[in-house]
Structures are given as structure tokens and as C-alpha cells.
Amino acid sequence: MRIIRTQPVSTRRKLYQRDLGLAVLLGGAGLLLVIVLAFGWLADTGLGFWVGLIVALGLLAAGGWFSLTTLKYWQNQRIEERISEILIRRLGDEYIYFRNLTLPGQRSVGEIDGVLLGPPGALVIQIEAARGNFAVEGDTWYRYGRGPATKPTPKPFSQLHSGPAMIEPLSRLDDSPTWTVIRAAREVKAWLSVRELPQVVVQPVVVLGNGQIHNLKRPSAPVVLLAELDHYLSETLLIKQLPVEGEPLAETVVEQIVQRLQTNAE
């Protein structure tokens, strides 16, 4: 199996480099200002001192926030490497995996974590690196034990799960990984459909790298734990070789798609 990157430096890598620079710059400036205030090199009384302290704390907070974004990037990178290792071990030369793919001419979803091409079609992968225990209902994601308890809905989770875990508060995630991967899969499908290629079956999947699923009810896309990805591939790609619709993609068609992605990549 081949792994391809269409960009020498991905968009997320560029953002990581920017955030790392800001974390060092802002955090360093805040720390330097704290040292200056602590040693009394500025006025240690009056309004000037308190203004300086507030500015220093603000700089440290901003540096800490950018440090968290860089940490999230490295968590995603670790999961991406693990996924690549599993794919290389399980799949043959007829499969090609695009990492951090930006479709030419498409800007609505931005960079896609991964797109696997092979005889069954295209598998669009969305990585969720967040830690914790999650409940998923459709495209709505909740995390246990974070923030205030979620108000009951017409179909409360108490009907789905019984036990001590339900006394924990539920907080709703702002971004839904399943909805994100559904949108990405639609973009891939739309890009392929206007290139005069044979009908390609596009399937989405969310890979949960660090968390656990406590409740899973009618998700719009499969949600797979990283530890279970090997089994998922065996059940969906290696056993059911034929796609749900259309014909298996010939190796020449896969190569044609790859060439167009590489040639048109921006």
C-alpha cells in the first residue's frame, strides 16, 4: 500500500508552526514580564504594577492556549501515524492512502484527514483525538463529566443506558465529528462525479483515537475506536470486497484518480 501527501507542507502543519511560534513568543514575553515585576525592576506599587501584572497574565494565558493547540496537533499526528501503520500492515498494493488531503477547487471542508482508495471505492477518514467518554446520538456528540449537566431531551439518554454513569453531567461538543466526515465524504463524491470516472462508492468513518464510546445511537457515519480499526477494515474492506453499488474500481482507475489529485493539487 502506498501513502501519498499532495502537499509538501499541509495546511495544518503551517497552522501548527504559526501556533508554536505564538506560544513561544507570547508565553516568553509573559514570563519575562513576570520576572521583571517580581524583581522590582518596575514600580512594585501603584497602577503601573497592576497593569503590568494583568498584561503578563494575559500573555501567559494566550501562550498557554496556543500551546494547547500545538499539543492537539501532535495528538492527531500520533493517531495518523498509527492509522498508517495499520493500513500498511493490513492492505495490499491495490490500495492508496492520501493523508491530509485538500481537494482541488474545494474549500468548504478544508483539509481531510485521510482518503483511502481501493477496489471497494473511497473510504474517507475523520480523526477525533479528544480524550474522555462520549455518547453519540445521530450527529450530536456529548462528553461525560465535563461542564454542567445537559437538559433532558425528548429522547433522554436514560432510555439508552442505565447505571452509575448516567449521574455524570453531559456536555455537548460544538463540532460533530460524524457531521464533519459526512461533509468531507460528500465533497469527495462530488469531486469524483464530475471527472468522467466510473461510479465510485464513498464511505465515511470517524476514528476515535483517545476516547471511549459509552452510548452510540444511529450515527450518520460509523464510529470506530483506534484499537478496533484493524477489525473494522477486515469486516468492511477485506471480507466484503464488492462495493454496495457499482463495480469494483480497477487498478487503472485508482491510478487515474491519484494522478488527477496529484496533478491538480494546490
Please state, in angstroms and rounded to a whole number, the distance separating the CA atoms of residues 150 and 100: 34
- Residue 221's φ and ψ, nearest 5 degrees, are -140, 150
Please state, in angstroms and rounded to a whole number, the distance separating the CA atoms of residues 43 and 62: 24
Sign of torsion over alpha carbons 221, 86, 90, 3 = positive
Are 185 and 204 in contact by the 8 Å Cβ rule? The answer is yes
CA distances from 102 to 113, 137, 180 (A): 9, 29, 14
Residue bearing cell 491495490: 94
How many other C-beta atoms lie within 10 A of the C-beta of residue 210? 14
Per-residue pLDDT of the chain (266 residues; tens, 9 = 90+): 888 876 666 677 778 788 889 889 988 998 988 888 777 766 556 677 778 888 889 989 998 888 888 888 888 888 989 999 999 988 888 899 998 888 876 566 788 999 998 888 889 999 998 888 999 998 899 988 754 444 445 445 444 444 444 456 778 888 899 999 999 999 888 888 776 666 788 899 999 998 888 888 989 899 999 999 988 888 877 655 444 455 677 778 788 788 777 765 44
Please state, in angstroms and rounded to a whole number, the distance separating the CA atoms of residues 3 and 95: 9
In this prediction the pTM is 0.75
